[in-house]
């Protein structure tokens, strides 16, 4: 006979087994990937640093401790051991030129030449490989960075004679690093008819451009700002095969450098069609936020009629902003200034678009749901753009979340710095420009202006403005580590000067990281889906060999991208 006590124990045990069976029968959500074993910075203020992240279907499933993360691991889960490395949200390039990045690998790379003679030598070598009549193209030269001044020199630039001598049968066009000037040889100018005093579609006093000529009126080969179109319109369009190759190279370069999203600063229909085809084929391995090329007025009108194209499903390809090029660059003295250039009296730079068009575009953008992103480097350009934005905002007070931007915002009059915060205008800056330009930009602006109003990151942040970071690739290499280093040290890549230029304007490590992640996502209306490591957001991460948040300043540049995870998949892993 079974006792009452024994029967009760058996019943309790059977009930426990039933409960356990029920629990085991419940569907458990396992992760596709769990990442652990390193320092993980989330950019989530409520949970800033964690031990592990779980990912499923390209989204973040869990963020927390390693112990808790084990519950998400099954036999099919990929477990990534960071081995002490550092992971952050995927870095976002807030201002670059995607096709320019690819073509910089296909054409002559002039970023590392030391002087004019190096340029001539590279072209001479290219001529030997080219067919007669074939165009030779390149980009990246910057006369202010050369180790010697060429002779002769006109308005601070070299003249074409040496270049033309080594390329008599091949038209050559070499774009300045800034993209705001170009250098043509005699053959290219002959094709374009530049030796004529009157050129079809261009006059010497045309607003927004200049053909630089010597004292006898002969063209020197330098074409500044909109005058570049005189040569560019004769350069054969790239074929589809080469465009595909360039985009493939760009995507790989982004992945090697930890870039998971890219703000493309001004493109046309042809390029947008290429991006769409890559997305359809599953080949768009970086999230594209595209700005419509504002100078193409017919294209802009087409988009007003269509309205923004916002990718709310895959978050791969969005078009909702308009890029306006409002002045030039300091390198070619095209940046539009309130006071004359210190090293060229009487020269103030120039506007490259009528300000009436900036106002018109700003108003129509607000009406049709677009953001405006205006290139402005000089203090006058920044003031004029802010003035037009203000008028447009006042005319459309119901649009409160416009997120209008000024691209570069490099040199701002002290009176205008607070306006960024007051007007909620985003400063889309590239810290690497300070590193590259500051040693010679002081000649352009003089000591007072360079110290009070150039690269003023802390002044802008204290005004309440949002700063987003990038490189303006191919103006600078896409490497975000160099730009991060410049942000927090204000030194050149040669690690000078001691203490950095204007050290009171340094960003903190947290501010610099935020400018490349969460604030960069804010700059494209996407902070709800990316820019931080939080459950539900896109699984885009960048892994670094060193801890960017704690490593000594002098070791930041020794840091490398160890791994890039895009949409929950490892798309790049550094060898060894």
Joined together, the tokens standing for residue 544 give 């670094």
d(CA 255, CA 536): 23
d(CA 449, CA 392): 29
72 belongs to a structural domain: yes
CATH of the domain at 144: 3.10.310.70
571 belongs to a structural domain: yes
Does residue 1 surpass a pLDDT of 60? no
Asked if residue 458 and residue 335 are part of one domain, the reply reads yes
pLDDT digits (tens, 9 = 90+) for 381-400: 999 999 999 999 999 999 99
- C-alpha closest to that of 458 among 518, 405, 404, 501: 501
What does the pLDDT read at residue 25?
Answer: 38
66 belongs to a structural domain: yes
5 belongs to a structural domain: no
pLDDT digits (tens, 9 = 90+) for 79-99: 999 999 999 999 999 999 999
Tokens 């190279």 belong to 249
CATH of the domain at 401: 3.20.20.140
What does the pLDDT read at residue 196?
Answer: 53
What does the pLDDT read at residue 430?
Answer: 98
Q: Are strands 78-81 and 467-468 parallel, antiparallel or unpaired?
A: unpaired
Q: Which of 198, 232, 266 is the last residue of a domain?
A: 232
DSSP per residue over 42-92, as a string? ---TTS-EEEEEEEETTEEEEEE-HHHHGGG--TT-EEEE-TT-EEEEPEE
Tokens 């801890």 belong to 547
Sign of CA dihedral 553, 471, 519, 83: negative
Lowest mean per-residue pLDDT among 2-16, 222-236, 326-340, 478-492: 2-16
CATH of the domain at 45: 2.30.40.10
The chain-wide mean pLDDT, for the chain, equals 92
Pick 427 or 26 by higher pLDDT. Answer: 427
pLDDT digits (tens, 9 = 90+) for 522-545: 999 999 999 999 999 999 999 999
Does residue 13 surpass a pLDDT of 80? no
- Work out how many domains the chain is built from and give that number: 3
278 belongs to a structural domain: no
pLDDT digits (tens, 9 = 90+) for 512-522: 999 999 999 99
Answer whether 46's CB lies under 8 Å from 63's CB.
no
- What φ, ψ does residue 88 adopt, rounded to 5°? -130, 170
What does the pLDDT read at residue 420?
Answer: 98
Asked if residue 450 and residue 348 are part of one domain, the reply reads yes
What is each CA distance from 258 to 10, 253, 453, in whole angstroms?
60, 9, 31
Asked if residue 208 and residue 65 are part of one domain, the reply reads no
Asked if residue 403 and residue 478 are part of one domain, the reply reads yes
Asked if residue 412 and residue 481 are part of one domain, the reply reads yes
Asked if residue 575 and residue 448 are part of one domain, the reply reads no
Asked if residue 192 and residue 51 are part of one domain, the reply reads no
Does residue 7 surpass a pLDDT of 60? no
Does residue 28 surpass a pLDDT of 80? no
316 belongs to a structural domain: no
Joined together, the tokens standing for residue 506 give 């340094």
Asked if residue 547 and residue 459 are part of one domain, the reply reads no
Asked if residue 492 and residue 355 are part of one domain, the reply reads yes
d(CA 191, CA 385): 37
Does residue 199 surpass a pLDDT of 60? no
134 burial level (CB within 10 Å; 0-12, 13-18, 19+): middle
Asked if residue 539 and residue 429 are part of one domain, the reply reads no
Asked if residue 468 and residue 361 are part of one domain, the reply reads yes
Q: Which of 232, 260, 278 is the last residue of a domain?
A: 232
Asked if residue 538 and residue 478 are part of one domain, the reply reads no
Does residue 15 surpass a pLDDT of 70? no
What does the pLDDT read at residue 310?
Answer: 98
Q: Which of 232, 251, 280 is the last residue of a domain?
A: 232
356 belongs to a structural domain: yes
Which residues form the domain of 54? 28-84+529-576
334 belongs to a structural domain: yes
Answer whether 279's CB lies under 8 Å from 314's CB.
yes
pLDDT digits (tens, 9 = 90+) for 117-155: 999 999 999 999 889 999 999 998 999 889 999 999 999
């Amino acid at each position: 006979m079974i006792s009452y006590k024994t029967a009760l124990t058996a019943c309790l045990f059977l009930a426990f087994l039933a409960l356990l069976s029920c629990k085991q029968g419940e569907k458990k959500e396992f992760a596709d990937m769990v990442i652990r074993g390193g320092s993980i910075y989330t950019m989530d203020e409520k949970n800033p640093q964690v031990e592990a992240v779980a990912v499923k279907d390209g989204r973040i499933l869990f963020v927390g401790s390693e112990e808790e993360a084990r519950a998400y691991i099954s036999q099919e889960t990929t477990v990534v051991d960071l081995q002490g490395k550092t992971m952050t949200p995927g870095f976002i390039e807030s201002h670059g030129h995607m096709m320019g990045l690819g073509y910089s690998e296909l054409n002559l790379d002039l970023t590392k030449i030391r002087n004019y003679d190096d340029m001539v030598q590279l072209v001479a070598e290219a001529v030997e490989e080219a067919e007669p009549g074939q165009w030779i193209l390149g980009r990246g030269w910057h006369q202010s960075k050369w180790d010697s001044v060429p002779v002769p020199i006109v308005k601070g630039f070299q003249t074409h004679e040496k270049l033309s001598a080594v390329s008599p049968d091949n038209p050559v066009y070499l774009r300045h690093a800034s993209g705001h000037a170009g250098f043509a040889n005699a053959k290219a100018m002959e094709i374009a008819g530049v030796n004529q005093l009157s050129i079809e579609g261009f006059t010497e006093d045309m607003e927004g451009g200049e053909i630089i000529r010597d004292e006898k009126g002969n063209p020197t080969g330098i074409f500044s700002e909109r005058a570049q179109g005189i040569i560019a319109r004769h350069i054969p369009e790239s074929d589809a095969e080469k465009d595909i190759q360039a985009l493939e190279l760009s995507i790989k370069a982004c992945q090697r450098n930890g870039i998971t999203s890219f703000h493309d600063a001004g493109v046309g229909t042809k390029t947008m069609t290429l991006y769409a085809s890559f997305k359809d084929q599953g080949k768009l391995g970086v999230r594209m936020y595209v700005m419509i090329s504002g100078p193409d007025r017919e294209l802009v009108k087409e988009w007003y009629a269509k309205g923004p194209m916002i990718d709310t499903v895959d978050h791969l390809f969005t078009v909702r902003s308009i890029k306006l090029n409002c002045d030039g660059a300091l390198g070619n003295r095209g940046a539009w200034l309130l006071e004359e250039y210190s090293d060229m009296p009487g020269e103030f730079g120039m506007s490259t678009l009528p300000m009436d068009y900036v106002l018109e575009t700003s108003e129509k953008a607000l009406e049709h749901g677009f953001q405006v992103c205006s290139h402005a480097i000089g203090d006058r350009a920044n003031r004029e753009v802010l003035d037009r934005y203000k008028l447009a905002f006042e005319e459309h007070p119901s649009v409160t979340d416009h997120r209008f931007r000024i691209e570069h915002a490099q040199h701002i009059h002290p009176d205008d710095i607070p306006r960024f915060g007051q007007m909620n205008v985003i400063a889309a800056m590239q810290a690497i420009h300070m590193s590259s330009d500051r040693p010679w930009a002081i000649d352009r602006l003089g000591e007072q202006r360079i110290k009070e109003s150039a690269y003023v990151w802390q002044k802008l942040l204290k005004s309440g403005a949002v700063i987003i970071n990038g490189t303006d690739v191919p103006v600078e290499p896409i490497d975000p580590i160099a730009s991060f280093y410049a942000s927090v040290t204000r030194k050149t890549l040669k690690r000078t000067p001691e203490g950095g230029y204007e050290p009171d304007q340094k960003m903190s490590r947290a501010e610099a990281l935020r400018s490349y992640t969460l604030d960069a996502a804010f700059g494209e209306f996407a902070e709800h889906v990316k820019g931080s490591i939080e459950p539900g957001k896109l699984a885009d991460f960048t892994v670094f060999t060193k801890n960017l948040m704690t490593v000594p300043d002098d070791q930041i540049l020794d840091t490398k991208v160890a791994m890039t995870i895009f949409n929950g998949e490892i798309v790049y892993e550094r060898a060894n």
